[in-house]
Structure formats: C-alpha cells, structure tokens
Amino acid sequence: MRKGSVRTRAALGATLVVALALVAAGFLVVAALRGGLADNARLKAEATAREAAAQVADVTADKAKDVEALDGDDPAQIVDGRGRVLGASDHLEGRGPVADFHRPDEKKSGDSDGDDGDDDADSDDDERPEADSEQDDRTLGFPVDDDGEVTYDKDDITGRQDFSVVAVQAVTRDGTPVTVYAGASLHDQEQAVSSVTRSMLLGLPVLLVVVAGVTWLVTRRALRPVEGIRREMSAITASEDLSRRVPEPDSRDEIARLARTTNETLAALEGSVERQRRFVADASHELRSPIASLRTQLEVAAAHPELLDVDGAVEDTVRLQDLAADLLLLARLDAGERPADARIPLDALVREQTAQRVGDTHPVRVLDPLAEGEVRGSHGQLARVLGNLLDNAQRHAEGAVSVALRREGDRLVLEVADDGDGVPEEERERIFERFVRLDGARSRDDGGAGLGLAIARDVAGRHGGSLTVGASPDLGGALFALRLPLADD
C-alpha cells in the first residue's frame, strides 16, 4: 500500500489530534456548563424555599396560601404533616402534594407493598441532606439525590419543562409543622447546553478543515527546500557529476543543516572518488615500468639467450610482487578490514625485525633500553609498519639508522631515525600520501613506489595510534614516531 506524502500525513495527523482535543474539550465544557447551571437552579430553588419558610413562620396554617413567595414564576408548595396542601403557586394549583409526584417509571410513595408512611420516610433518611435545621426529612415521600435535588418529568408539573426541587421544613406561627417545596426551572440549562452543543457540532468540521488546510500549506512551505535538495540529488545521480552541490537555505533550521551535511557528504565522496581514480592511475603507472622492463628482458632473452639478465629479471619480479602486496594491503585497509586483537610485546617485535635485516646498506642501531609493554593488534601489520619505516630510512640515510622504543604515558612510542637530509616541514604531511616521493633525482628502480609510508600511517590509525615525522635531534635527519596505545591489563 502506497503511503501519502509527508504533507498529507502531517495534515491528517494534525487534524486528528485537534479533533480529539476539541471533542474532549467539548465534553468537558458541556459537562461543566450543565453542572454549573444545575447548581444555579438548585440554589435558586433553595433560596425560594427558605424565603417561603421564613414567611410561613409569620402566619398561621390557614393563611399559608397568602405567602408572597408563592406568587413567583417558579412552582412552590406548602404541605402540612398530614399531606394537606396549605398553599401553592399557580403552577401547582389544584394538585396534590409534591411528595406524590413521580416519574413514569417510578412508584408513588403510597404504592409500597403495604408499608406505612413512617417506614417510607425512615428509609429515605440517609438519602436526603438537611436543607435546614428545622427540616423534617420524614415528610419527604419522593426520592431525593445527595444534593437534595430531584428532577420531575415535565408532564408532572407544567407540561413544558423540568424543575429542580428543594424541600425545607418550617413551623407556622400557630405551631403547625409544614414542608415548603420550591422548584427552579431547568429550561435555561437545557437551552444553553443544546445551544453550545449545536454550535460545537457546526463549528467543529469548519475548524478541522481550516486546521488541515493551514497544516498542509505550512508543511508544504517548510518542505519546499527538501524537494529542491531531492531534485538536485537526482540530477547529480543522473549526471554522475560529484562537483555539483545542493542548494542551502538561508534559514538556520534542520533543513539547512541537512543541506550542509549533504554538501559535505558530496565533497567527501568527490574526494574519495578522485583519490580512487588517482590511485588506479598511479598503480597502473607503477606497474607499467617493471612489467615493461621484464618484458623487454624476456624478449631479448628469447632472441639472444646469451644476453639474458637473470638478476634484473628477478629484481623486476620482486618489485612486482612487493607492489602487488602493497596494493592488496591498501585495498583491504580501504575496505575497512579490522586488525587482529592479539597482545604483542612491541620490544620483542623490534628486536625480531631488526635482527632479520642482514642485507641493509646501513646498519640499524637499536638504542637500549627498549621500553617494555604490549599493544593490541596484528603482528603482521605492525611488523610491516616497522619494515616500511626502516626501508624508508635506508633509502635516505647517509650512513646511520637507529631504532628506539620508549614509554609516553599510556602509549608506547617507536622512533626510527636516519642521518639523511630530513623532510622539509612543509612536506611532512604530503609524504604520507599514496605514490608520493620527494626525491626527484632518485630513479624509480632505486626507490619504492611511494606506498610504504601511506600504508604505515593507515595501519597505525587502524590500531588506534598515529604516525608523524619530524627532525632527529641526534642524527640530524628524519625522525618517524609511531605512537600506539598500551594494551589494557
């Protein structure tokens, strides 16, 4: 299944999140509004009931119908202890006690399996809160919730709407205990909740469309540089021109950093490809000379066997073999081959390698004492590094080559020095490049292919160390220093 674009997914995601948030907020707002308006209605009913109770205390039972609180727009009723209606508002004129009102699915208070009124009243003692210290809950014969509130079906009172009803106990001036019922309309609550709900239902789709559109436009504008980067990368891939670069936005955001990183990657890739091309060209050039020399000797020998230069042919063959070995090692290093993890005593390696060099033009002097210590890595590769450094010193020395091994903190430092002309300071990094030789007067037959120092530095880096060149304070020539970390105990 094909996925949509980032812009589409971002717009849909933002719209979904906003929709969920608005729906949740809508439920909370409606619940809070409903609860607040219900509380207001209950407080209004309670105020009316208390006002009527206060007025009842100033009149006798037969004058209860003249209480001014009964003249309001909301329903109110005064009932004595025997269930007689002493006074009522216009809404309840001609009706029985409010205590007998009920919802269609509820029983009336007088329909309870033969129990007397006292038992019914006692059963509700724990359900009705005291609205007044004079209140007698036993006179309340209808269900009341924890807030002293009950909502009657609209057909039970006015035929039009629901009310929140509160009951308050009082005593008339002639000592008759009465219950004052007062109701407050819930019509405003219903209308407000209905209006808010309707507005939300109508406004939600419009708001979601606006959110989706704005998110899509903003995301499109934000991702426009990314599309430019993609197009340029596609063009670079098609043309194989690594000198081209992707456009970098003027902003300092993540997209600008992506463009800069992409250009840095392209520059590194271009440099790598260029080095690879140069390496292939130089390798071909280096191989051409010994191969051409060997072919010439063999052709001459084929025509004139007595002129065969066996020593020269062997020398050219050895050069080809060494060059092939160097190229193979460089290829493995470039491929990311990791060295072995053996523990190698470096002092023993130095003595072993120097002892094998019996055919050197200049004797190699080992400066005692050699520091003791082990390093981790490949014995063969480290021996190759030391051999390359000694070969380089032999080619440039006037008469002396020395090897020293000392400890420097948590590292071992292997130093190879000669008494030659040294390396100019401005050329001390260049000599570690592949196929680079500084001695222009020296023939290729006398020198190497310019790979020894490049291999030595690569191997040093693979072993967590470094290889640098400076001036020898003792012999006056070049001083190569190989630094390797000591093996952990």
Whether 406 shows a pLDDT value over 80: the answer reads yes
Residue 289, SS3?
helix
Task: Please state, as a whole number, how many other Cβ atoms lie within 10 Å of the Cβ of residue 229.
Answer: 18
The structural domains of the chain, ordered by start, are 1-238 (no CATH), 254-334 (1.10.287.130), 342-485 (3.30.565.10)
Give the confidence band of 146 by pLDDT, cuts at 50, 70, 90: very low
Q: What is the pLDDT of residues 358-398, one digit of tens each?
A: 888 899 999 989 999 999 999 999 999 999 999 999 989 99
pLDDT of residue 198: 87
Q: What is the pLDDT of residues 201-229, one digit of tens each?
A: 888 888 888 888 888 888 888 778 888 88
Judge whether 177 and 80 are in contact, CB under 8 Å. Answer: yes
pLDDT of residue 365: 93
pLDDT of residue 291: 83
For residues 439, 442, 443 and 449, what is the CA-based torsion angle, rounded to 10 degrees? -40
Arithmetic mean of pLDDT over the chain = 79
Q: pTM of this prediction?
A: 0.50
Question: Comparing 151 with 97, which gets the higher pLDDT?
Answer: 97
Q: What is the pLDDT of residues 41-61, one digit of tens each?
A: 888 888 888 888 888 888 888
The listed range with the strongest mean pLDDT (208-217, 325-334, 412-421) is 412-421
Of 451, 174, 191, 208, whose CA–CA distance to 322 is shortest? Answer: 451
Q: What is the pLDDT of residues 333-359, one digit of tens each?
A: 777 778 888 999 999 999 999 999 888
Whether 483 shows a pLDDT value over 90: the answer reads yes
Give the confidence band of 134 by pLDDT, cuts at 50, 70, 90: very low
Counting beta carbons within 10 angstroms of the beta carbon of residue 164, is it exposed (0 to 12), middle (13 to 18) or buried (19 or more)? buried
pLDDT of residue 121: 34
Using only the alpha carbons of the chain, give its radius of gyration: 52
Does the N-terminal peptide bond of residue 369 adopt cis geometry, omega within 30 degrees of 0? Answer: yes
Q: Are strands 150-151 and 163-171 parallel, antiparallel or unpaired?
A: antiparallel
Tokens of 153: 């079906």
